Amino acid sequence: MNILEKIVALTYERVEAQKKKIPLNEVIELTNPINIYKFSFEKALRSADDIAFICEVKKASPSKGIIAEEFPYLQIAKDYQSAGAAAISVLTEPDYFMGDNQYLREIADVVSIPLLRKDFIVDDYMIYEAKVLGASAVLLICSILDSKTLAEYIEIVHNIGLSALVEVHDEYEVEMALSAGARIIGVNNRNLKTFEVDITLSERLRKLVPNDKIFVAESGIKTAEDVERLRKFGADAVLIGEALMKGAKLERLK
């Protein structure tokens, strides 16, 4: 079993445990009174004057271990907003990324820009839960979902006013995402099975994504030169985590 398979298995266990605490019907009811601007994540990326930055709040990762020994996540999020981020990605996966739902809930209270719940969505419960926690968007990973489930999840996401960042890793998954109705497609330059990074993957797959979709490049983006390269071949946004968590200044990447 590779790391991705282990994460998915643990995520199923986590969701089942959470359902026992708060059943699905109660979580759905909790989403109803929450006033989140419809599709605010998508609107923020589309309205950016230049390439948009999605900045990530991340304590650890399977490939790097602990990235941030000190983790003042609220201040990090506020700094991202002050520096001009279009949106913030918040890890909530606890076992390999040391994320927590509480980070998302508390960050939602201190910033006004849209938040992406960065997790391994394997159950529609997690989509409704994301809205309750304060997210404006969720990550849907093609490699852990089949085509039918992906389409169903995108429909649920859009019906409750959230956005879906649909993550792909190859040509087949690009087609899968488009067929399922994705409006935002993210290419993860990191292979989730080997964790090797190839930033040219975004460049190769960009040509397969229609211009009316939002194209996001993820992972392996460390320098202003990387951002400029992605800008030149038409990336609408970049998702940056590790470089910023290790101290790179957002203004240096613009």
Displacement of CA 86 from its chain's centroid (Å): 13
Q: Which of 61, 89, 189, 219 is catalytic?
A: 219
Task: Look up 118 and say whether it is catalytic.
Answer: yes
126 neighbors 22 (Cβ within 8 angstroms): no
CA 165, distance to chain mean position in Å, is 6
Q: Is position 56 annotated as part of the catalytic site?
A: yes
The catalytic position among 56, 129, 173, 203 is 56
Cβ atoms of 167 and 142 closer than 8 Å:
yes
The catalytic position among 40, 89, 93, 118 is 118
129 carries an active-site annotation:
no
69 an active-site residue?
no
* Catalytic residue selected from 101, 188, 189, 202: 188
CA angle 233, 252, 229 (to 5 degrees): 15
Residues 6+ apart with CB under 8 A from 130: 104, 117, 119, 138, 162
Task: Pick the catalytic residue from 42, 129, 203, 218.
Answer: 218
Alpha helical stretches, state H, the chain: 3-21, 24-31, 40-46, 73-83, 101-108, 124-133, 147-159, 171-179, 200-206, 224-232, 242-245
Question: Please, which residues bridge with residue 117 across strands?
Answer: 90, 138
Q: Is 143 a catalytic residue?
A: no
Annotated active-site residue in 42, 129, 167, 242: 167
Catalytic residue among 58, 61, 93, 131: 58
218 is annotated as an active-site residue:
yes
Amino acid at site 115: L
Is-catalytic flag, 35? Answer: no
Between CA 154 and CA 175 the distance in angstroms is: 15
Residues acting as catalytic residues: 56, 58, 118, 167, 188, 218-219
